A = this chain, B = another copy of it.
Amino acid sequence: MSLNSFGHIFRVTTWGESHGPALGATVDGVPPGVPVDEGAIQHWLDRRKPGQSKYTTQRREADQVQILSGVFEGQTTGTPVQLMIENTDQRSKDYSEIAEKFRPGHADITYWQKYGIRDYRGGGRSSARETAARVAAGGLARAALTQMVPGIEIIGYMTQIGPHGIDRARLDLGQIGENPFWCPDAQAAGDWAGYLDGLRKSGNSVGAVIEVVARGVPAGLGAPVYGKLDTDLAAAMMSINAVKGVEIGEGMAAATLTGEDNADEIFMGNDGQPVYSSNHAGGILGGISTGQDVVVRFAVKPTSSILKPRQTITKSGEATEIITKGRHDPCVGIRAVPVGEAMMACVLLDHLLLHRGQIGENRGRIG
């Protein structure tokens, strides 16, 4: 029972504070013989790095990952892999004010109440910087996934910023890398740019919805009742900083559908595999993957670190104000896209190993 770890067999423990010497991920249960090196993992970290666009915070972290164990002559050994990222851009700021005040909407007050001590620099352990460790672990997971199930693809993108959603009729995954928003709808991306510029100028922020799709996932993954694939995915996404909602397939909208509309009927495909008429289920039935695209969405709340003053209290219980100075993130959700992908990769790999452990191959033939 390690509360800073997730996963059953492929088990990731993250460590490190925003302004500590380093942060990282200790990854246990890695299958042996997976080809990997620092460059392969660095690739995924570079996609997440701050300072990518004018819409994300300008902390200049190199986020260089080092592999300190578990890899030998270019392959995993099956022993724990230590992925470490040294913090290099900890501004020598004056933290005396923030040490005394609790930023509303952040974990400052709850960490203080629970632990009686908190590293207040940049949020300490509660900082979204922790997600860099997740992305590194996700890179390792992807390397293993590629080897075990070559057809698997994991693609994340934003479907909504504030009240502005994409038009799914215009959805084109090829657009994702073509704008600063991981947006698969070029037109929406243009609208979002103007919208966020306005927010940045007014010193405000907004939330977002991120969708992560996994394709080529074999049927049979998931361990009912409490290790269901959707249960573990929900936990994985909800654990990301600032997430307030998680959906599978139709998600909350499933409540509005009737049984007739929601049904994914089943047919036999040409290749002797079942096919479905639709995918309201998001690729998971009874907690087990069907072989269809696994579709997960999560909502990120807007950051409270905005330029407008907020009412709060100090540690000594005095009323005070707090205001974020200088640059701020109008939409922290943007940087959560690679994090969602990383969590999807870790959970899928874990379930591949878990299924192989208890069951071996899928045992039920159809046809």
Contacts and interface: CB of A to CB of B under 8 A. Distances in A.
A311 B260 CA distance: 11
A60 interface: no
Interface stretch (A50-58, A69-77, A179-187): A69-77
Interface in A95-127: 102, 104-119, 124-126
Copies of this chain in its oligomeric complex: 4
A17 B79 contact: yes
A91 to B, nearest CB: 17
A367 B317 contact: yes
Contacts of A355: 114
Contacts of A113: 219-220, 288, 362-364, 366
A224 B126 contact: yes
Contact of A285 (B105, B239, B250, B297): B105
Contacts of A92: none
A264 B6 contact: no
Contacts of A150: none
Contacts of A359: 31-32, 78, 114-115
Contacts of A125: 69, 77, 79, 224-225
Given A286-B106, A359-B114, A238 B245 contact: no
Interface residues of A, number: 160
Interface string A1-37: 1111110110101111100111110101101110000
A205 to B, nearest CB: 4
Contacts of A209: 252, 255
Contact of A244 (B238, B252, B304): B252
Contacts of A362: 113-114, 116
A16 B237 CA distance: 29
Contact of A266 (B15, B272, B313): B313
B21 A68 contact: yes
A23 B281 CA distance: 27
Given A248-B244, A265-B310, A308-B260, A28 B3 contact: yes
Contact of A265 (B29, B33, B282, B311): B311
Contact of A252 (B241, B299, B360): B299
A341 interface: no
Contacts of A317: 268, 272, 366-367
A70 B14 CA distance: 11
B5 A255 contact: no
Given A110-B220, A245-B254, 12 more contacts: A15-B69, A78-B115, A104-B264, A112-B364, A114-B219, A114-B363, A126-B224, A238-B248, A244-B252, A251-B299, A266-B312, A357-B357
- A-B pairs, top 5 by smallest CB distance, nearest first, are A107-B286, A357-B357, A116-B363, A317-B367, A3-B227
